[in-house]
Structures are given as structure tokens and as C-alpha cells.
Chains A and B, each alone.
Chain A
Amino acid sequence: MQEVLRFRPLEAEAVAREDFAEEARQFRRSPDMPSRGLSLTIRGLRKSFGDNEVLRGIDLHIPAGQSVAIVGRSGCGKSTLLRLIAGLEKPTAGSIGFGEQARAEDIRVMFQEPRLLPWARVLSNVEVGLGRERSSADAQARAEKALVEVGLGDKRGQWPSVLSGGQKQRVALARALVSQPRVLAFDEPLGALDALTRISMQRLLERVWRDQGFTAILVTHDVSEAVALADRVLVIENGRIAHDFNVDIARPRERGSAELAALEGAILKNLLEGTEDTSDDL
């Protein structure tokens, strides 16, 4: 941030931006503050599309503030589960309950595509995330804060089309964060990014999750991403949760460490055994 600011022509503007950076730091959770996340309980969840029964009885409890990764071969129903949690689909049977009464702004989803409005500047795209609070007096200030949080404070006035894929995804993250959600669901949010951008985005996701304490549900096809980011990794097979791994590795986690690699190997082995007869893709 500082390095960018040094080249700003207007000192007044630079000061104003530093203020935002400072506020953004305060806006983060202090370590002793209780988690803002919501717990989530799923019971007997089933979902069919016509004759195709995609989810065949999911039972799951996610404690408040936990980060859970969901892996499984493509088409196994990961996105469907996420969309059910986010309320975008109705379950065929079963129930999904949050620990407390959740407002619409408390649950946010981020997709593989950034889904930014091409005709709105970056800042107004972030303001969209405020939902019904969009017209409140501090809407713009909150959007600015969220943009600083993802490191794009200086891009507020740009059109989305000039941003790189990673930057677009960070704007989408700011839009999801701006309402201070208590559950954040990610559907392969980094799937379309190159390897380096992906690693820096993983760090960003981990940082905002630790700062803000929301409950995170991350669908990914990348097992190494799952073990690097999550407290817990679920493997979905045949419409059910086939395995539930605890990732008991201290943070910050060192990428490529033997511990992570061993766990990744174990999960991959499980995944491959379950799908030997069908295909080799995850």
C-alpha cells in the first residue's frame, strides 16, 4: 500500500487513502473478539433434478467460524450443495439451519466467474454487495474499506474490463465482504486463475477469513488448496459425505510442507479409490 501511495500526485488524496487503510485495519477482528460466524446444521438433505438424485442424504454440522473445504469429482453435487446452503435452490427433502436468525446480507456466495457489472465502476460494483443497506449514508465509505481490504483501493474508479482476472476476483471478494457476512460460500473461486495469482489469492482468502471470522465453505477441485486453507476437508461421493478429514495443522501453513503433502496424498487416495471405475477427473 505504502509503495503505491508514494507515487500519488496529490498528497491530500494519499492521506485520505491512508485513513481508509487505518480504518480497514480497525475493522478487522481482534484476536479475543468472539467469532462473527454462524454455525450451520444440515439434516437429511436431498436434492433431485427430475430423475437425477444429486444429493442423497447429507448430514453435516459446521461450527461457527470454521473453514470447510468440499472436494469431489466433477458433477458430484458440490455446487448444488453450496447453492442449497446459499438459498439459491430449494431442497427436495431435509433441512438447512443456521445457529441464529440470519439476514440476507449474512450469507454471501462467490463464484468462479467474478460476475461484475461491466457498466459499473469498481466502487459501485462493491456497493452492490451492501444489499438493502446500499442507500445508507456510509455505503460508499464501507465499499472503500472493503476495496482497501482486498488491496485494490487505488482501482475504485476503473471499469472492470481493464482489470486482470485476479483483480476482478478480488473485487468480487470485496463485494461479498462489504456487508460483513457471517457465512461466505465459495464455488471454485480460483478455478480460472493462473498458478501464481491463485497462490496470492489463497493467502488473501486466508487473511480475510482470519480477520473477519466468518464461517467459510470452500468448494474446490484442488486438494492442495483445500488442505492449505481449510480446518476440515469433506469428500463428497455418490451424493453423500464419504470422508471428513480434520486438518490439524498450525497456521500459517507452509506450502509444500511434508505434513500438508501427506494429508493431500491421503485425501487424493480416497478420492481415486472411490472413483476408480468411472473416470480420472476430480
Chain B
Amino acid sequence: MSLIDSLPRVRAPKLPRADGLIPWIVPLAIIVIWQLACVTGFVPARVLPAPTDVALAGWKLLLSGELIRNIWVSFWRASIGFLIGGAIGFAFGLANGLSQLSAKLTDTTLQMVRNIPHLALIPLVILWFGIDESAKLFLVALGVFFPIYLNTLHGIRTVDPQLIEMGRIYGMTDGELFRRVIFPGALPSIFVGLRFALGIMWLTLIVAETIAASSGLGYMAMQAREFMLIDVVVLSILIYALLGKLADSASRALERLTLSWHPAFQKH
């Protein structure tokens, strides 16, 4: 597929249903090649266990209930941290996008804080919270805050001023103007922030759980490393990939649902 092919086109060709399977061909092929490489001894099991061994390790952990428990703990931390950081970021984005005073008061400070890599705060956060739940939630919330804040702010500031003037001419109240013009206009940008934030959410959580936790997927992987259980380490990585993909798909579905007016999302 050439670059030109991947760009949005004015009229997309009708795709047959089987095309939904095409994205899965490459991952499937990788697994098959990986399995072959391991079975033939081309890659030693100490370096990379075969997919079947990883699946077996997953099955055992599933039966013991350990896998579900760790996934659940990580999922819970990710969601709560995301909700807290996302809500605060969204609120600041709205406030600073709509009010000059609020923007003058807080934007410069926030832009300064933004330049600190949030993972650099880990030592400080451990000193503050220990390896308590709040340490992980704090880090995830902080990581998620900035992409949501920046993109909400950008979205609101770039709403077409001609549309806002139109709304005023036609007698919209401030509330209506926000609901019918400003918010829908900012939504595409907010979604960009949402998807960035989801990526940062997983990254932060993995690092935090690897360094300072006594449960969760990151902890499971670190434990496995100590006992040289390489199949469990690989399993954890694969689960992270899967969860990340799931979060991305969910946000895409939401995007398609709410942005159905956007030319990029229209069915042909």
C-alpha cells in the first residue's frame, strides 16, 4: 500500500466484509514464525519461549486466579487514575479556553509544570505516598492530565469564530453557544488528547507498577523476572499490548459515534 493509498479519499471504494480480517494477518504471521523459530531451536527457549509455552503459562495463572486478579488491579488503577486526571485536565481546558482571566491565572504555571517529565517524580511520589495505591493513581492522573488539558484548550480556542458569531447573531445564549457550537467544535481535538492520554496512562502504570507495587501486571512481570519465569514476563508484555489496543479501539468507537458528522468518519 502506498502512502497515497492511506490518505483519506473523496470517495472510498466499497470494501468487502473480509477486509476486516486483513489487519490480523501480520500479527498471526508473526506468531506462526515465532513458533517455528522456537520449535526448530533457532531461538533458544531461554531467550524467548514459544507462543505455546506463553499460552500455557497464561493458562496456569488463569486457573490459579492470579492473572485475573493482577489484570483487574491494573485495570482499576488505570481507570481511576485516568478519570481523575482526565476530569481535572478537561475542567482546566474548559476554564482556560472560555475565560481569559482563568487562562491568565493558570496557563503559564501549567505550561511550566508540563515540562517536567512526570515519571521523574517517582522518587518523590514514593517518599510521599510509599508504594500505596495513591502513588500509582497520582502518577497516572498527572500523566493523563496534560494531553487532555492541552487538547481541550486547543480545541476550544480553534473553534471557527465565524460560527460563534453566527450563533450570537441567531440569539443563542451562552449555554446554547457552548452546547451547540463550542463543545462540538472542540470535540475532534479533545479526542486526539484522549488517545494520547490512553497511551500515557498505560506507560505510566507499567513503570509505576514495575518500580513500586505489590500487585498488578507490572508487579507480576517483575516477580517473574526474579524467578527467571521468562514465559510469564513475555505474557505480561503481550497483555499490556492487548489492553492498550483495547483502550484505543474503545476510544475510536466512541469517536466514530460522536463525530459521525465529520467527513473523515462518514460511511460511503
Contact = CB atoms under 8 A, between A and B. Distances in A.
B106 to A, nearest CB: 29
B261 A118 contact: yes
Nearest to B172: A128
26 contacts: A86-B169, A88-B165, A88-B169, A108-B169, A113-B162, A115-B166, A117-B163, A117-B180, A118-B261, A119-B184, A119-B185, A119-B187, A119-B262, A120-B180, A120-B261, A128-B166, A128-B170, A129-B170, A131-B171, A132-B171, A159-B260, A159-B266, A161-B261, A161-B262, A161-B266, A175-B170
Contacts of B165: 88, 115
B263 interface: yes
A117 B266 contact: no
A10 interface: no
Contacts of A129: 170
B251 to A, nearest CB: 18
Nearest to A113: B162
Contacts of B137: none
Contact of B171 (A104, A109, A175): A104
Contacts of B259: 119
Given A119-B184, A128-B166, A161-B263, 6 more contacts: A104-B171, A115-B165, A119-B185, A119-B259, A159-B260, A161-B261
Interface of A: 86, 88, 104-105, 108-109, 111, 113, 115, 117-120, 128-129, 131-132, 159, 161-162, 175
Interface of B: 162-163, 165-167, 169-172, 180-181, 184-185, 187, 259-263, 266
Nearest first, the 5 A-B pairs at minimum CB distance are: A131-B171, A119-B184, A115-B166, A119-B261, A161-B263
Contacts of B261: 118-120, 159, 161
Given A88-B169, A129-B170, A131-B170, A162 B266 contact: yes
A117 B169 contact: no
Contacts of A115: 162-163, 165-166
B266 A105 contact: no
Contacts of A161: 261-263, 266
A86 B166 CA distance: 12
